[in-house]
Amino acid sequence: MSQKQYNHLVGLEKWPAPAKLNLMLRIVGQRPDGYHLLQTVFQFIDLCDWITFHPVNDGRVSLQKTIPGVPESDDLIIKAANLLRAETGCALGVCIEVEKNLPMGGGLGGGSSDAATTLVILNKFWSLQLSTERLMGLGLALGADVPVFVYGYSAWAEGVGEKLEKISLNEQWVVVIKPDCHVDTREVFSSKDLTRNSKSIRIADFIAGKQQNDCVGVVCQQYPSVKNALVALSEFSEARLTGTGACVFAQFDSEDAAVNAYASLKKNKWQVYLAKSLNESPLFSKLKAGKYIS
């Protein structure tokens, strides 16, 4: 496939930016600079934003439509594209169209995932040939969750979330509730009541059932609507918080059980999503299916 043909195909495609869940979150320490040291497990779900990259001839990087209240220059997508250009000296431009489906401020990683898809696809679209490791490094400069979306597979994570180890998990049906609030992550991590000295565990311990989230107590105390969502969802399956929230989720072994929970919760006018968890990012599944990567 010629570069011209490849650019044409990429420019016509919609590329997924999937959500993630934190299946566990332990805070095992704090660095001198204030950043918390974590152990967490990331898994993707098939709920996605969709991004289209339109070639332009004027060398500009822009959004086709901005998010209300977010200046274009502050959007992580634009920051990702400009960082990629600055890192490589690339002078090419692009107009980026975003179909936003992931709730903002929900802890599903929407902005980070959008940025990661931008890095991965423009790296190919612009023939920059940066390695996955280098793209992950760029992603970390944009946010702690960006590297796992560039990595593209379920992962055990440590450090501030950037030290990743591939892990294969059961792919189950998932119901997610987005409470009517926006959790301030900095506020949660600065709380005097937050546990910061959990004992480090191994992957085997997580698999055996040690799947706590150290942020739950603080978040439920500060955001009653999150607590209410956990209570409502727990009537159907074990309900958990993803990251610092606001979203809560529960896993189901069968589609019927998940659909039943989804339908019941929707009746109560919760903002609810039905999804399937995935070990491989839908972005990389699509790239492989189109033979853009081997």
Q: Which of 128, 125, 57, 62 is nearest to 90 (CA)?
A: 128
Q: Which of 275, 247, 274 is nearest to 262 (CA)?
A: 274
Q: Which of 145, 178, 214, 227 is catalytic?
A: 145
Q: Which of 20, 79, 178, 227 is catalytic?
A: 20
The question of whether 75 is a catalytic residue gets the answer no
Instruction: Report yes or no: 105 and 183 within 8 Å, Cβ to Cβ.
Output: yes
Torsions phi, psi of 277, nearest 5? Answer: -80, 150
Beta strand 36-55 pairing with 15-30: antiparallel
Residue 159 has which token pair?
A: 């450090």
Instruction: Report yes or no: 240 and 248 within 8 Å, Cβ to Cβ.
Output: yes
Residue 47 has which token pair?
A: 């709920």
- In angstroms and rounded to an integer, the radius of gyration of the C-alpha atoms of the chain is 19
Residue 43 β-bridge partners: 21
The question of whether 286 is a catalytic residue gets the answer no
> Which residues lie closer than 8 Å to 291 by C-beta, 6 or more apart?
none
In angstroms, the CA 46 to CA 276 distance is 6
Hey, which residues are catalytic here?
A: 20, 145
